[in-house]
Amino acid sequence: MPIAIRAKQGLTRRQLLVRSAATVALAGSGGLATPYLCRAADRPRITSGIASGDVSAVSAVIWARADRPARMRVECSTVESFRTIIRAASSQALPDGDFTSKLLLDGLPPAQDIFYRVRFEDIAEAGISGEAQVGHFRTAPAGQQSVSFVWSGDTAGQGWGIDPGRGGMRTYATMLENRPDFFIHCGDHIYADCPIEAELKLPDGSLWRNLVTEEKSVVARDLVQFRGNYKYNLLDENLRAFNAQVPMLAQWDDHEVTNDWSPIGTADETGYAEDGTSRLVARAARAFHEFMPISALPAQAGRIYRKIGYGPLLDVFLLDMRSYRDSTWNRQGDGLDTCILGSIQLAWLKRELAASDATWKVIAADMPIGLFSEDGIALGDGPPERRECEIADLLSHMKRAGIRNTVWLTADMHYTAAHRYDPNRAVFQDFEPFWEFVSGPLHAGTWAPAPLDNTFGPAVAFQKGCSAEQGENLAPCFGLQFFGRVDIDGRSEVMTVTLKDVDNRDLWSVDIEPRPDARPARILSQQF
């Protein structure tokens, strides 16, 4: 499929394709190592494509997986010919990590297209190297430059896997056509609790025919099966092509483990470790970190919540609404103190938001705020209770601290929507108005829009999902697969949010003007 690369010299798309193909040929002909005399089968091989993630102005994480114990070699350049190598690094791919390998490339120039190539070397015999694969990302700007990114979530859910006859996971190809600077995956990268069957019958009587693997044919319980869920998705050529060209900022939600999981109360027959943690969750978390191009945080191993700075216009705050939540269902009237972020993460978020001097502060959340769900935040109409109290505390803190120009992005609900929260409509009123945008699924069943509650005064500006006549769990082939696109103009600093579908149609958009004071951002226009 086409390779989309941001070009600084005004190259046409056809020229980019020709140049990229030439680069791959050069890399494969020995750009990283001397020619080899052994057979291809004797050389280490990249099995699941390459990926980058957590890109900043000066660094990015590079990921790949080998077919055997090997050493991953990475070189990067500011030119596709790799005539000049600006950075090189290596890391091992060992059986203990299912032959996955990732490393941090740092010391990179800001606002620059970076081309990187990855090859695995035999760990036991020097000089034996496999063919290289070439990827691309763009480092964050250091100055006032425009930024564009996409977001969504929910991949291979409800039994809808890879049907090559229907184009595979097409939304990834559509997002690649948008040539974003990066991609926020809001969670449910996999559906570990949703096995893939060979065939599913569609309402019109035709068949959806999945690729099937052994690990993806059962509910994931052991580490091999959790790993197999990620490897299954990477069989899709659209996903592999996207990963090679667009860096990812990865979160997780529930289906990386099992439906509606919480830290306590989610276990299998292996139970809990001595420290009280679930062994099932630990296996799922290990597979997630092995397969995601996510940076390691030395202060707290395995931590997912973090801030990614993307130049003076944007800071992205990636939340974890799973690992620190309470273990009870979110029901009204029981009077229990509960949480969804936890005290440590909430304190971190308040502190980092207050310290941010970026124009826009995007809060990427696993779940929306005002959509009723026993697994989520919203309880129904009325004053804040239970998990809503944490959100009320955060919103009032943001108002008092003068934290402005915040936008919430999320997925999870398997439809797309724009919600405007306003204290004038709310039961709880100690906050400034803000937008929340929902998009997804990337490749899963589509649902009908869910009800909102009035605690924080949300109103629907736009929503699109399946209808009552279509029913729940509508297959991806019916076109109701969604993602969102955000563009921040480098001159005006206006943020444009566009909700899009798998066929790249603009369903709805809004232009939001930032405010330099503590007043909320102003809506310039909305378009359907």
pLDDT over threshold 80, residue 363: yes
Summarised one tens digit per residue, pLDDT across range 484-508 is 999 999 999 999 999 999 999 999 9
Summarised one tens digit per residue, pLDDT across range 305-340 is 999 999 999 999 999 999 999 877 777 766 667 899
Q: What are phi and psi for residue 415, nearest 5 degrees? A: -160, 175
Query: Per mean pLDDT, which range of 139-148, 199-208, 512-521 is the poorest?
Result: 512-521
Q: Is residue 261 part of a domain?
A: yes
Cα torsion through 469, 470, 473, 478, rounded to 10: -170
Domain that holds residue 96: 13-138
51 and 179 housed in the same domain:
no
Strand partners, 101: 64
* Torsional class of 151: left (φ above 0), alpha (ψ -120 to 50), beta (otherwise): beta
The whole-number pLDDT of residue 528 equals 65
The whole-number pLDDT of residue 265 equals 78
E-strand stretches of 395-454? 406-410, 416-421, 434-438
Q: Which of 462, 467, 474, 415 is nearest to 440 (CA)?
A: 415
In DSSP notation, 237-295 reads: HHHHHHHHHS-EEE---STTTSTT--SSS---TT-B-TTS-BHHHHHHHHHHHHHS---
378 and 504 housed in the same domain:
yes
Summarised one tens digit per residue, pLDDT across range 220-273 is 999 999 999 999 999 999 999 999 999 999 999 999 999 999 988 788 888 888
Q: Is residue 4 part of a domain?
A: no
Q: Is residue 2 part of a domain?
A: no
395 and 412 housed in the same domain:
yes
pLDDT over threshold 80, residue 518: no
298 and 355 housed in the same domain:
yes
Q: How many CB atoms lie within 10 A of CB 159?
A: 17
Q: Is residue 499 part of a domain?
A: yes
152 and 118 housed in the same domain:
no
- Number of domains, the chain: 2
Task: Identify the band that residue 298 occupies on the pLDDT scale cut at 50, 70 and 90.
Answer: low
Q: Which of 323, 434, 321 is nearest to 367 (CA)?
A: 321
Query: Cβ distance 210 to 202 under 8 Å?
Result: no
Task: Identify the band that residue 275 occupies on the pLDDT scale cut at 50, 70 and 90.
Answer: confident
Q: Which two tokens stand for residue 355?
A: 């310290």
Query: Per mean pLDDT, which range of 128-142, 328-342, 441-455, 476-490 is the poorest?
Result: 328-342
Q: Is residue 296 part of a domain?
A: yes
Query: Cβ distance 104 to 295 under 8 Å?
Result: yes
Upper half-sphere CA count for residue 128 (Cβ side, 13 Å): 16
399 and 286 housed in the same domain:
yes
187 and 214 housed in the same domain:
yes
The whole-number pLDDT of residue 122 equals 93
93 and 192 housed in the same domain:
no
The whole-number pLDDT of residue 439 equals 97
Give the domain-ending residue among 138, 173, 204: 138
The whole-number pLDDT of residue 177 equals 98
User: Residue 77's domain is classified under what CATH number?
Assistant: 2.60.40.380
161 and 133 housed in the same domain:
no
Summarised one tens digit per residue, pLDDT across range 29-88 is 344 444 445 676 789 999 999 999 999 999 999 999 999 999 999 999 999 999 999 999
Give the domain-ending residue among 107, 138, 169: 138
Q: Is residue 491 part of a domain?
A: yes
pLDDT over threshold 80, residue 17: no
3-state secondary structure of 400: helix
The whole-number pLDDT of residue 248 equals 98
Give the domain-ending residue among 82, 111, 138: 138
Q: Is residue 1 part of a domain?
A: no
271 and 199 housed in the same domain:
yes
The whole-number pLDDT of residue 519 equals 60
**Calpha distance 343→352 (Å, rounded):** 14
Query: Cβ distance 466 to 424 under 8 Å?
Result: no
Q: Where is pLDDT greater, at 293 or 276?
A: 293
Summarised one tens digit per residue, pLDDT across range 77-134 is 999 999 999 999 999 999 999 999 999 999 999 999 999 999 999 988 878 899 999 9
The whole-number pLDDT of residue 38 equals 61
Q: Which residue in the block uniquely carries the two structure tokens 């015999």?
A: 125
What integer best gives the mean pLDDT of the chain? 90
Q: Which residue in the block uniquely carries the two structure tokens 């589509």?
A: 446
43 and 174 housed in the same domain:
no
Three-point CA angle 273, 251, 462, nearest 5°: 135
Q: What percentage of residues in the chain have a pLDDT greater than 70? A: 90
Q: Name residue 463's amino acid.
A: Q
Task: Identify the band that residue 28 occupies on the pLDDT scale cut at 50, 70 and 90.
Answer: very low
pLDDT over threshold 90, residue 19: no
User: Residue 233's domain is classified under what CATH number?
Assistant: 3.60.21.70
298 and 445 housed in the same domain:
yes
Q: Is residue 160 part of a domain?
A: yes
Give me the long-range contacts of 304-309 (CB less than 8 A, separation at least 24): 304/250, 304/251, 304/252, 305/345, 305/348, 305/349, 306/54, 307/352, 307/356, 308/54, 308/55, 308/56, 308/249, 309/56, 309/57, 309/140, 309/358
